[in-house]
């Protein structure tokens, strides 16, 4: 006597349903992973710009650290780090400050010369930059990146 076979339609539908569930699950995992990767890269990029900006300012300070040549001022309500340099009897200023969404710098401005804050060369985009003298030869540099993360660095003046 021949065995009666079950209809193949039920088995086929079950197998196809399992493949669809697997495919949908795989797609969701890939999409979730892509979103996580995008967020990690955005955070990494923000942190890179923050660290780069602070490292740049720190290296500028250290490269011109002569007694009395590094100080802070407030100009038009903006905190500025000023590095003065004397060349051939003339004092030149190198100013680093935050203005209009950017950490900026103006290089080799003759002391007493007026300049527009917009004229500064853009270093990195940021939400804020402050510099404070802590006393005893220390400066506190604080940079807030566009992601809202704040990084501070204390710099010791060698001179």
- pTM, whole model, 2 decimals? 0.72
The helix or strand, by DSSP H or E, that contains position 83, with its residue range, turns out to be strand 78-87
Task: Give the separation between CA 133 and CA 117, rounded to whole angstroms.
Answer: 22
Residue 9, CA atoms < 13 Å, CB-side half-sphere: 1
Confirm if 121 and 106 have CB atoms less than 8 A apart.
Answer: yes
> What is the full per-residue pLDDT of the chain (159 aa) written as tens digits?
556 666 667 788 889 999 999 999 999 999 999 999 999 998 888 788 788 889 999 999 888 867 778 888 888 888 899 999 888 888 899 999 999 999 999 988 888 788 889 989 999 988 999 999 888 788 999 999 887 888 899 888 876
């Amino acid at each position: 006597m021949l065995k009666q076979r079950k209809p193949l339609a039920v088995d086929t539908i079950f197998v196809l349903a399992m493949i669809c569930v697997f495919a949908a699950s795989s797609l969701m995992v890939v999409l979730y992973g892509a979103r996580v990767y995008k967020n990690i890269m955005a955070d990494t990029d923000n942190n890179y710009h923050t660290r780069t900006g602070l490292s740049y300012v720190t290296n500028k300070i250290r490269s011109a650290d002569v007694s009395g040549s590094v100080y802070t001022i407030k100009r038009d309500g903006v905190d500025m780090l000023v590095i003065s340099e004397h060349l051939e009897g003339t004092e030149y200023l190198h100013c680093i400050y935050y203005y209009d969404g950017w950490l900026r710098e103006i290089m080799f401005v003759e002391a007493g010369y007026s300049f527009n804050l917009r004229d500064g060369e853009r270093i990195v985009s940021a939400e804020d930059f402050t510099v404070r003298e802590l006393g005893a030869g220390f400066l506190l540099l604080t940079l807030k990146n566009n992601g809202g993360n704040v990084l501070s660095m204390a710099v010791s003046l060698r001179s």
